[in-house]
Chain A
């Protein structure tokens, strides 16, 4: 036995390179993760974070470079091999079966044939010892996003990993849930486990991470101690220049402006056992303003978006009005023709068809509104015009890609989101409804998208933003309403809104009693 391994590197990565066609996604990446540290991996979308992590977890094979685990060179050929080494991963998007219980979901991934009851017992013990209370018998479909994430974490911990990779873990959590998660991570660190923490929330990284590695355009641009940096200096390292702060000019005379989107007593019965009913929602969005809808995921935001967009029709035609016309009975195409534009939460498979080119994905939402420009006689697509328009959007939104007209799935999440938002902005819609505009999007791109939404409203459009990111809503909204359990509170003007007030409403406090509860608390 040579040296004492305490403090030595658990994982060392030397010159790891991955090339996709002409794009070098990861270019000679060096990374050391010591035992018992929380190591942040920072970078803009498309910087190569996901590619790097996929190579560490065995789902992509590097073109060159070496990985050392406890000082020994290893080849990680599959996620199974990664798990055997002691690498666990919690993905940004969960892979859980809603109709199964938490314990059954865990059993599926363990793959060792041990009985459900013993797995449930182990999971329960583990969850309490790490302060992540979880009932293994509960159906996943009934659980909140935060609870679902706990299942993923417990599932990972049950395999006693030495290194845990967390991909944007707090993007789905309330501030309170995030605090809980940080306690767990600190506990894991104190037990000598290492954590690779991927996030774009710089304040978080400053708070819990010991070291950070910053990637830009596939290269390591620096290692640093995030505690000694400011959020601005970290952002500068990531983006390569200053992130433009979002500017929101106050609007005047909004009370007299015309409401472009009116929602009147919108109700909807739950479509599946796992969906939320909508209960008499009313809301007006006027020309020139941005209204934000806050709320913990799974409180009816998805159902609300579907109803407003027209993917689901309403019985009462007057329950959704666009530019003064009843639109409740119109399809999404009809509502678009009235001047509305929509950006759904899910990018791949909802906002965009993954295996189709960007130009085809432009046609997806604009074949009817831009029918004259994009579709010629006899239903022939004018592919030249569509391509030119998609290139215009790519340029306007600074979408980074590896080919002139790549498939949507080939783009990183943030770049695809920029394209999807840009696709709608390019139409100059008079009503814009966006669900989670910057979910998993890096700081630079997020600022770009937010600024674009504010500018759209200031040019006379009505903008409705549904988001779980409170910072974002406070940054861009003129008023914030909160959705909880299918009900929507009255919008609070931004001057009166505080994190506490909104947070209480998110937690289910009676809208009328919010102030009162605060005083007594």
Chain B
């Protein structure tokens, strides 16, 4: 006969709002230790292999940057959506469509070479991601559909479309039947930043640049103000003369374009061709990155690096300890769970209802007292 109830706190603590991601990270570590112990691995060893060894050498830091770049690019776009109270869950699909659009030039016109190729590919990638994001935006503004469902379902459409492309019309004729496109030429490959030190490419620079630009947009510009007003109080936003439909398009197109840029950067930088699967779930992991970074673009840079590490750590424990690399997903899930949990507890406190019935507190006793007097 007990029931949990969340009671809104009259004041939220500014200190704990700031500490929340760190507390969540600490809790994830504790829960992770328990998980490793249950798997029969010494947690300390596992943590060394998971969190420290993958970043102990310079080339490994480059790998970290490769993994972090798409996460940051996508997450800063998503942060704008979420600040506007618009729930784009389909960044994974926009990432894929960015990759497909951007690949049109190297796959269909491989003979076209020169310095224009790469900028055009990146531009097409952004157009592709934005166009794909425009679908849920259109459905929401025209038919009032729920963008969470439509954007999510379009992810699977994009994945299957890519799969069909690389097995069908875009398959490399000289590829021995493997489901993949031709290798991109040099002109269509995103250059590495420091080829002598590691593989990291310009995608990471794009990510940092996007984070800083979005940070300026949200904190300093009228457009960012519009996003925040419409997200926090839509009626006040309407009073301000800001249009909600325009905002839905703005947020979806912006986040779609950034996800598309991440997609084409990944394909032209890290992979070098289209394959049936080009993302280990970056579009979904970026949702965690956005929240872990408090929807703040600078926070998202840090959060993106942390989540990138969970991918590398997952690969590391698989090769060193023989544990499934699904461990990475578990860590990501726990991190999101604890972040959301901490945030909830900053705004609400938990109350057990039902205790009062069995154990009357002072108040109940007092209420009974006057009745007793009357009875006498």
Contact = CB atoms under 8 A, between A and B. Distances in A.
Interface of A: 1, 5, 20, 54, 59-61, 69-70, 72, 74-76, 78, 80-82, 84-86, 162, 309, 311, 331-333, 336, 342, 344, 346, 349-356, 360, 363-365, 367-368, 375, 378-381, 383
Nearest to B233: A353
Contacts of A331: 241, 243
Nearest to B229: A353
Contacts of B232: 353-356
A84 B367 contact: yes
Given A84-B363, A350-B239, A375 B233 contact: no
Contacts, number: 98
Given A360-B225, A379-B221, A381-B221, A344 B7 contact: no
Does more than half of chain B's interface fall in helix, strand or loop, or is it mixed? helix
A381 B236 contact: no
Q: Report which residue of B7, B225, B236 has the largest number of chain A beta carbons within 10 angstroms of its beta carbon.
A: B236
B115 interface: no
A379 B223 contact: yes
Contacts of A350: 233, 235-236, 239
Given A69-B366, A74-B362, A356-B229, A333 B241 contact: yes
A380 B241 contact: no
Interface string B1-33: 000000100110000000000000000000000
Given A72-B366, A84-B364, A353-B233, A311 B225 contact: no
A387 B337 CA distance: 39
Nearest to B220: A380
Contacts of B359: none
Contacts of A81: 361, 363
Contacts of B376: 1
Interface of B: 7, 10-11, 220-223, 225, 228-229, 232-233, 235-241, 243, 351, 356, 361-364, 366-367, 369-370, 373, 376
B236 A364 contact: yes
Contact of B229 (A76, A82, A364, A368): A364
Nearest to B5: A80
Contacts of B223: 379
Contact of B220 (A5, A60, A78, A381): A381
B276 to A, nearest CB: 42
A363 B225 contact: yes
B225 A367 contact: yes
A351 B7 contact: no
Contacts of B10: 54, 59-61
B235 A349 contact: yes
19 contacts: A61-B10, A69-B366, A81-B363, A84-B367, A85-B363, A311-B239, A336-B241, A344-B239, A350-B236, A353-B229, A353-B236, A353-B237, A355-B232, A356-B228, A363-B225, A367-B241, A375-B222, A380-B221, A381-B225
Contact of B240 (A86, A162, A365): A365
A489 B91 CA distance: 55
A285 B233 CA distance: 31
B244 to A, nearest CB: 12
A356 B220 CA distance: 14
A474 B351 CA distance: 50
Nearest to B356: A80
A56 B363 CA distance: 13
A85 B367 contact: yes
Given A60-B10, A333-B241, A351 B225 contact: no
Contacts of A353: 228-229, 232-233, 236-237
A375 B222 CA distance: 7
Q: Report which residue of A84, A350, A380, A383 has the largest number of chain B beta carbons within 10 angstroms of its beta carbon.
A: A84
Given A82-B363, A84-B366, A350-B235, 16 more contacts: A5-B373, A54-B10, A60-B10, A61-B10, A84-B364, A162-B370, A332-B241, A342-B239, A351-B236, A353-B229, A356-B228, A356-B229, A356-B232, A378-B221, A379-B222, A379-B223
A423 to B, nearest CB: 12
A1 B369 CA distance: 11
Contacts of A61: 10
Given A81-B361, A331-B241, A381-B225, A352 B366 contact: no
Contacts of B240: 332, 364-365, 367
Q: Report which residue of A81, A344, A351, A352 has the largest number of chain B beta carbons within 10 angstroms of its beta carbon.
A: A81
Contacts of A20: 11
A61 B7 CA distance: 14
B161 to A, nearest CB: 36
Nearest to B234: A349
Given A332-B239, A336-B241, A74 B366 contact: yes
A7 B221 CA distance: 63
Contacts of A5: 373
Contacts of B225: 360, 363, 367, 381
A443 to B, nearest CB: 28
B171 to A, nearest CB: 46
Q: Report which residue of A360, A364, A375 has the largest number of chain B beta carbons within 10 angstroms of its beta carbon.
A: A364
A95 to B, nearest CB: 13
Contacts of A60: 10
Enumerate the 7 nearest inter-chain pairs by beta-carbon distance, A residue then B residue, closest first: A333-B241, A84-B363, A353-B233, A353-B236, A81-B363, A364-B240, A332-B241
Contacts of B363: 74, 76, 81-82, 84-85
